[in-house]
Structure 1
Amino acid sequence: MASHASVQTPGAAGAAGMRHAWIRRLDSFLGHLIEVPVAILVIAEVAILFSGIFARYVLNTPLVWSDELASLLFLWLAMLGAAVAFRRGEHMRMTAFVNRASPGAQAFLQVFAISVSLVFVLLILVPSFDATIQQKVISTPAMGISLAWRTAALPTGLCFMTVFAFLRLIEVSNWRLVAKTLLLIVAIGLALYAMSPWFEDLGNYNLLIFFVGLVALGVFAGVPIAFSFGIATFAYLSLATYVPVTVLVGRMNEGMSHLILLAVPLFVFLGLLIDMTSMAHKMVSFLASLLGHVRGGLSYVLVGAMYLVSGISGAKAADMAAIAPVLFPEMKRRGTDEGELIALLSATGAQTETVPPSLVLITIGSVTSVSITSLFIGGLVPSAVLGIMLCIVVWYRNRKVDLGHVEKQRGSQIFKSFVIAFPALTLPFVIRAAVVEGVATATEVSTIGIVYSCIIGIFVYRCFDVRKLYPILIDTAILSGAILLIIGTATGMAWALTQSGFSGDLADYMATLPGGAFTFFCVSIVTFIVLGSVLEGIPAIVLLGPLLFPIAEELGINDVHYAMVSILAMGIGLFAPPFGVGYYAACAIGRVAPDKGIKPIIGYLCSIFVGLLLVAAIPWLSTGFLDTK
């Protein structure tokens, strides 16, 4: 799940807006110049992967070039999507401290965030061009196309981000403010450069300076997480090591090009598609007719609906956006407090992190080599256990509610609602069956869901507005680009941490902890809760997954079991106020002030923490349905 707080700039209205009308026209022109291609790229990826499934499973004639072409286009989709996200201020960032600052400090931090992002882009722009030139002589095995066509996506996307950053700074119309932020960045850079002779003697203490201090400075100042990771890694490599900074570009390229990550934009697109085709509405309406008359019935529906929809969209923001508009109005009419609604929505967001095909599951599989299929199978029961714990709290809080005014739905009405919802309810089972039966890979299976949703939306529910398709494609590219750029820069940071010997030191430390696997689990849970709150889910997984999973394996912990515990712990941190950005995303979606849900959510978070301890203590909950033969 991700929170997308806009990097807004002050002073773009009134007279300043009139003076800079040409900036808006240029910005609009460049926006359309990249938005149209990314929309086409999303459709192209769906067509290519679905064609591969059809050719292999129906025609029994595999397309040897399909994965290669999909991978080539994927990096373009990621980088152009990241550029669109930059233009719209949709890159993931933490705003807990920024929002509490005074108006003047907020204005300064907003410009500071743009300036830091611009500096990072400029620093890696030339190395990205060099990397593209180096790839010219290498050709792909199936199509014989130069790899430069793929790697050229990186400098192209960076060039667009550079232009958009300059446009944002010009729009500020307060050159004194811009100058202050740039001088601060230069001062920090010169101070670090002056200290570079001492960095060589500090050893791994450098990691605290760059990957704790510098990253924390960027994250808490509201700099988008991807750029905070990137500039800290660049500074570490250039000032504390002899490693060429081109390595960072290579690691970013590698991290964003992993074919399994193509599932990210496709599942995001699927989540938005089922909302557009009213499939999500039909599912929730059926559950409401089934349980709406019991105490806390709609709260149970919320828990069940999030579990069900999480298995379709894979994106937590899409899950909550599909559920809240349908259930919240009726729950408010029945007297449910707004804070209670947001608290439960956030808690279910944490609870359902392991429901396949979660983006976090896909990401953790890509960075740790754990079987995606095993993660999909293993994630169902742990989430259900946490769901039961939430339902216990729901029962306790609603045990005295008077529902004498609520009419129980007749059996015929429930059956009618079920018949209407049946095509939509079938979708998650179609997706899971396709993966389990080997019809499609974890990367390809989303295309089956997309085609199925289009068919149901057009021919069954007759709710398919073509005019909404283009905005959905753009939203898909924006969210995907923001996520994938984080993965790219976090991959570079993880590589730097590994090469520094940190992973070896961490492994040695973990191995010497008393209590073996038990202590390791306890430390891991605390670590992922803290980092899930500060860094969001995917960055925490990308950074720590490659480091901690080998240690867990050495201690005899099943990798799927450890993945479930790590993801659920990260989810608790992600949705726990006051720092969890997932909580603020839920508040934005539900249009409720954040302070109203902080007290009610405590009980829910405690209940799912107890559920997390059960999952950690009972490995069978994660591995019981895996094929261990």
Structure 2
Amino acid sequence: MIISTGYACLILLTGFVTLVVARVPVAFALGIATIPLVVFDIRLTPFLIMDRMFNSYNSFILLAVPFFLLAANLMNGGKITDKLIEFARVLTGWLPGGLGHVNVAVSMLFAGISGSSTADAAGCGKILIPAMTRQGFDPRFSVAITACSSVMGVIIPPSILMIVWGGVMSISVGALFLAGAIPGLMIAAALMATVYGYAKVYDYPTAGTPTLTEFWSALKGAGLALLTPVFVIGGIVGGVVTPTESAIIAAFYSFFLGFVVYRTITLRDTVGILYETGRFASISLFAIGTASVFGWMLAFYNVPRLMVGVMTGLEFGQFGTALVIAGFFLLFGLFIDAIPAIIILGTVLYPVASAADIHPVVFAIIGIVSLAFGLVTPPYGLCLLISASIAELNVVKVLRDVVIILVPMLVILLLIILFPEIVLWLPRTLMPGFK
């Protein structure tokens, strides 16, 4: 039989939600939810579904995902993160709430290298959460600021989410990287302002005023690591390398620093790092395949066209449509990982954004920033779970501080929606021909 759009949506969404509630991993839930339609709709066959999955993997740009994860794991495994933390300390540690500012600053620096928020939360959190607690910071605040600052990992370039978005939507990854820079810095400023407010209310200490010698020593220690974003972003924007090639350069450069320059990585360590990278990359890439099938089925049953018709009929206008889009991404981010959400929701809402004259790059940044917040909001909240587990705290105890810290970050998202030039100015300035 031929299944209608309404029934297809009902089957897909009911099946997916039921499986997620039953604690089936999201990547498997997305694939299993499509099976009833394959069985009952005579237009679909298992071979067609397998072909869609293969096409989603047959993408050169997706090779960047495991290599950026490898670069992040090599940075953490090679203790290069420690050098970034020391550099962040001499830059911002003298402010009230010193280690809180260091937490934000090192997340910003690490984001410019790794492209992964979870690697940021794990690598920086293991060092800074215990250190902040020893200095008298409330453990709940330490966990909350670590988790919230780690979201910059997917907003400040390079970003794994931007690479996936660029590959799925056929948008310039270089433009996305540049577009995310100013919003990322604005979020960093909002976080540091929040830390300053906490420090004044709770009398949190500084981390000491650095001497010129300490500053020079920290700069020398972190200087080589800080060249990574120059190679990665400069190479992509300048058209010298592709995103995948830049990810390979970042991984080999991280290995060179850890194995040759700092000598903090051994061959035995490398085996463990490669294993962990392969494990996490396989989870992400498998989710890309099943999410692509799920998203393709939504498109097959004309769900995007239906949504465009509904949104156009409601006449929200550009601002209203952007708010609704952000709301959808924020909602999805509560329950599923950002990569499947991009493939499913991004492809469905892209025609809606186009119909409302929202620039594709602005649409991308709204989606990525909104999904990034899902990394610190339960029930998914992977960065929050990682940070809370480091401090051995129940996530529920941390939620109040997370909400307080998220409010100014949400204001930044609203500013991006209100003033799209925040996103578009840098690509238009540095990329000739960008419109």
Q: Report the TM-score, using the length of structure 1 for normalisation.
A: 0.66
Q: Which residue is equivalent to 1:249?
A: 50
Query: Is residue 602 from structure 1 mapped to residue 412 from structure 2 by the alignment?
Result: no
Distance 1:526 1:276, change over 3 A: same
- Larger CA Rg, structure 1 vs 2: 1
- 5 Å-filtered alignment, 1:455-466, equals 455-466=256-267
Instruction: Report deviation, 1:328.
Output: 1.9
Gaps of 5+ in 1: 1-196
Query: Is residue 577 from structure 1 mapped to residue 387 from structure 2 by the alignment?
Result: no
Deviates more, 1:253-262 or 1:233-242: 233-242
Q: Which residue is equivalent to 1:535?
A: 336
Distance 1:589 1:363, change over 3 A: farther
- 5 Å-filtered alignment, 1:227-376, equals 227-376=28-177
Contact kept? 2:5, 2:303, Cα under 8 Å: yes
Taking every aligned residue pair, what percent have the same amino acid on both sides? 28
How far apart, CA to CA, are the structure 1 residues paired with 2:432 and 2:314? Answer: 30
How far apart, CA to CA, are the structure 2 residues paired with 1:436 and 1:265? Answer: 21
AA paired with 1:437?
G
How far apart, CA to CA, are the structure 1 residues paired with 2:86 and 2:419? Answer: 35
CA shift digits 1:149-175 (9 cap, x unpaired) = xxxxxxxxxxxxxxxxxxxxxxxxxxx
Instruction: Report deviation, 1:456.
Output: 2.2
Instruction: Report deviation, 1:600.
Output: 0.8
How far apart, CA to CA, are the structure 1 residues paired with 2:30 and 2:316? Answer: 34
Contact kept? 2:166, 2:173, Cα under 8 Å: yes
Contact kept? 2:99, 2:132, Cα under 8 Å: yes
How far apart, CA to CA, are the structure 2 residues paired with 1:430 and 1:369? Answer: 23
Gaps of 5+ in 2: none
Contact kept? 1:533, 1:576, Cα under 8 Å: yes
3-state DSSP class of the match of 2:227? helix
Instruction: Report deviation, 1:471.
Output: 1.3
Distance 1:268 1:410, change over 3 A: same
Query: Is residue 467 from structure 1 mapped to residue 304 from structure 2 by the alignment?
Result: no
Query: Is residue 435 from structure 1 mapped to residue 243 from structure 2 by the alignment?
Result: no
Contact kept? 1:282, 1:421, Cα under 8 Å: yes
Instruction: Report deviation, 1:207.
Output: 3.0
AA paired with 2:88?
L
How far apart, CA to CA, are the structure 1 residues paired with 2:295 and 2:206? Answer: 57
Contact kept? 1:393, 1:604, Cα under 8 Å: yes
Q: Which residue is equivalent to 2:414?
A: 613
Instruction: Report deviation, 1:226.
Output: 1.3
Q: Which residue is equivalent to 2:248?
A: 447
Query: Is residue 398 from structure 1 mapped to residue 199 from structure 2 by the alignment?
Result: yes
Instruction: Report deviation, 1:251.
Output: 0.7
How far apart, CA to CA, are the structure 1 residues paired with 2:225 and 2:329? Answer: 34
CA shift digits 1:43-88 (9 cap, x unpaired) = xxxxxxxxxxxxxxxxxxxxxxxxxxxxxxxxxxxxxxxxxxxxxx
By relative contact order (CA 8 Å, sep 6+), the higher-ranking structure is: 2
Instruction: Report deviation, 1:294.
Output: 2.2
Contact kept? 2:74, 2:273, Cα under 8 Å: yes
Q: 2:359 aligns with which of 554, 558, 573?
A: 558
Query: Is residue 378 from structure 1 mapped to residue 179 from structure 2 by the alignment?
Result: yes
Aligned positions, number? 430
Contact kept? 1:576, 1:605, Cα under 8 Å: no
Instruction: Report deviation, 1:352.
Output: 4.0
How far apart, CA to CA, are the structure 1 residues paired with 2:335 and 2:206? Answer: 44
AA paired with 1:420?
G
Q: Which residue is equivalent to 1:188?
A: none
CA RMSD in angstroms comes to 1.9
CA shift digits 1:94-126 (9 cap, x unpaired) = xxxxxxxxxxxxxxxxxxxxxxxxxxxxxxxxx
Q: Which residue is equivalent to 2:321?
A: 520
Contact kept? 2:104, 2:188, Cα under 8 Å: yes
AA paired with 1:424?
A
CA shift digits 1:247-292 (9 cap, x unpaired) = 1111111112211110011111111111122221101111113322
Instruction: Report deviation, 1:405.
Output: 8.4
Instruction: Report deviation, 1:400.
Output: 4.4
How far apart, CA to CA, are the structure 2 residues paired with 1:403 and 1:237? Answer: 59
Distance 1:256 1:586, change over 3 A: farther
Distance 1:400 1:500, change over 3 A: closer
- 5 Å-filtered alignment, 1:113-192, equals none
3-state DSSP class of the match of 2:334? helix
Q: Which residue is equivalent to 1:91?
A: none
How far apart, CA to CA, are the structure 2 residues paired with 1:205 and 1:241? Answer: 17
How far apart, CA to CA, are the structure 2 residues paired with 1:510 and 1:580? Answer: 29
Distance 1:485 1:458, change over 3 A: closer
Instruction: Report deviation, 1:210.
Output: 2.0
How far apart, CA to CA, are the structure 2 residues paired with 1:477 and 1:407? Answer: 40
Contact kept? 2:90, 2:218, Cα under 8 Å: yes
AA paired with 1:284?
I
Instruction: Report deviation, 1:591.
Output: 3.7
Distance 1:546 1:406, change over 3 A: closer
3-state DSSP class of the match of 1:336? coil
